[in-house]
């Protein structure tokens, strides 16, 4: 069973400025909790028990969010606010560990994942979740990450979550080549190639890698040898392409819907989606939506 996941959170969040100037972009609120809490919940729902945050000195708020706040808890206890206290305590279930390591230089996503090597080791498979992307598992009995973990355990192949994106946007993503065959939702297909941020007219498909990966520990020695690629950064995609040539890699076509919370409209859409169905605020939020829908 895959029990470990790496969440790279060291980036400055330039796309989210000015919101991310003094707080980490991962701490921007979607309805009543920060983006990162949804991503940790997604990992935990898929059976992950060790969450490795690859972080930076300026992003202590993320670690604090997942740590016990003793004084706050004592104060809520004294005031008899038991429901709120329970909600805070359940942010991290008792059997889940939050571990952090530092990425001391911004050398790219591949380098960030490599920073988790001492914690994960080369012998164990693990998941990677990029916290800019929220994967909405509403209505699914098992979320996409759990499906990817199952597919890894059946095939032994790394799994990359993919989704179709508009053709004009392929240069913003890692793009996969599935030999012209597009897997159906919840299916995985062997890849015949992948490339990071190709030029729009050179992309092998419109299927983009969307921030969720299940990888073998063998990716670490490959990452350690991967030279800088697109944007002069050490790219996870380039290391996975080397892994594909050595051992095979599959694309997992997702069921759920995604929101790119590294972009203002993406996170506004996430607020709409999660706000409308929120057990406490949903009804009031739907009233607001109706009221504002008529306005220009
Ligand atoms: C990263 C990956 C890219 C992936 C994208 C979306 O790019 O390098 O392959 O498609 O996330 O999840 P970034 O958005 O960090 O530039």
pLDDT tens-place string over residues 143-181: 999 999 999 999 999 999 999 999 999 999 999 999 888
What is the mean predicted confidence (pLDDT) over 184-212? Answer: 93
- Four-way CATH pick for 4-293: 2.30.30.40, 3.40.50.2020, 3.90.950.10, 3.90.550.10: 3.90.550.10
Q: Is 213 in the pocket of ligand 1 (CB under 6 A)?
A: no
Q: Is 8 in the pocket of ligand 1 (CB under 6 A)?
A: no
Range 187-201 burial, b when 16+ CB lie within 10 A, else e: ebbebeebbbbbeee
pLDDT tens digit sequence for 199-248: 999 999 999 999 999 999 999 999 999 999 999 999 999 999 999 999 99
Cα(173) to ligand 1 centroid in Å equals: 5
Q: How far is residue 150's CA from residue 137's CA, in Å, rounded to a whole number? A: 16
Q: Of residues 17 and 8, which shows the higher confidence score?
A: 8
- pLDDT bin (cut points 50, 70, 90) of residue 296 is low
| Segment (H or E) for 83 | helix 82-89
Ligand 1 pocket, mutate which of 112, 174, 176, 219 (most atoms under 8 A from CB): 174
Q: Are 177 and 193 in contact, with CB atoms under 8 Å apart?
A: yes
What is the maximal distance between C-alpha atoms in the chain? 63
Quickly count: other Cβ atoms within 10 Å of residue 136's Cβ. Answer: 18
31: tokens are: 């309805």
Quickly count: other Cβ atoms within 10 Å of residue 89's Cβ. Answer: 13
Atom of ligand 1 nearest to the CA of 174: 9
Cα(208) to ligand 1 centroid in Å equals: 9
Give this prediction's pTM. 0.95
Q: Is 209 in the pocket of ligand 1 (CB under 6 A)?
A: yes
Sign of the C-alpha dihedral computed for residues 90, 273, 160 and 181 taken in this order? positive
Cα(282) to ligand 1 centroid in Å equals: 32
| Segment (H or E) for 163 | strand 158-164
């Amino acid at each position: 069973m895959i029990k470990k996941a790496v969440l790279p959170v060291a980036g400055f969040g330039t796309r989210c400025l000015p919101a991310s100037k003094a707080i980490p972009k991962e701490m921007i609120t979607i309805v009543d909790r920060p983006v990162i809490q949804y991503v940790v919940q997604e990992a935990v729902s898929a059976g992950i028990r060790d969450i490795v945050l690859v972080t930076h000195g300026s992003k202590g708020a993320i670690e604090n969010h997942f740590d016990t706040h003793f004084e706050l808890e004592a104060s809520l206890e004294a005031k008899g606010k038991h429901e709120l206290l329970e909600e805070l305590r359940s942010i991290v279930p008792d059997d889940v560990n939050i571990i952090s390591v530092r990425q001391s230089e911004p050398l790219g996503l591949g380098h960030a994942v490599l920073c988790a090597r001492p914690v994960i080791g080369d012998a164990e498979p693990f998941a990677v979740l990029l916290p800019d992307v929220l994967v909405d598992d509403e209505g699914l009995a098992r979320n996409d990450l759990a499906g990817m973990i199952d597919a890894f355990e059946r095939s032994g192949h790394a799994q990359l979550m993919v989704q179709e994106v508009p053709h004009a946007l392929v240069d913003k993503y890692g793009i996969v080549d599935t030999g012209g065959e597009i897997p159906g939702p919840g299916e995985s297909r062997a890849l015949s190639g992948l490339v990071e941020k190709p030029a729009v007219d050179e992309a092998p498909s419109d299927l983009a890698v969307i921030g969720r990966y299940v990888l073998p520990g063998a990716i670490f020695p490959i990452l350690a040898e991967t030279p800088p690629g697109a944007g002069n950064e050490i790219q996870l995609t380039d290391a996975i392409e080397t892994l594909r040539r050595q051992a095979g890699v599959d694309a997992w076509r997702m069921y759920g819907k995604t929101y790119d919370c590294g972009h203002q409209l993406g996170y506004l859409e996430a607020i709409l989606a999660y706000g409308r169905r929120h057990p406490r605020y949903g009804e009031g939020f739907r009233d607001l939506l109706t009221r504002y829908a008529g306005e220009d």
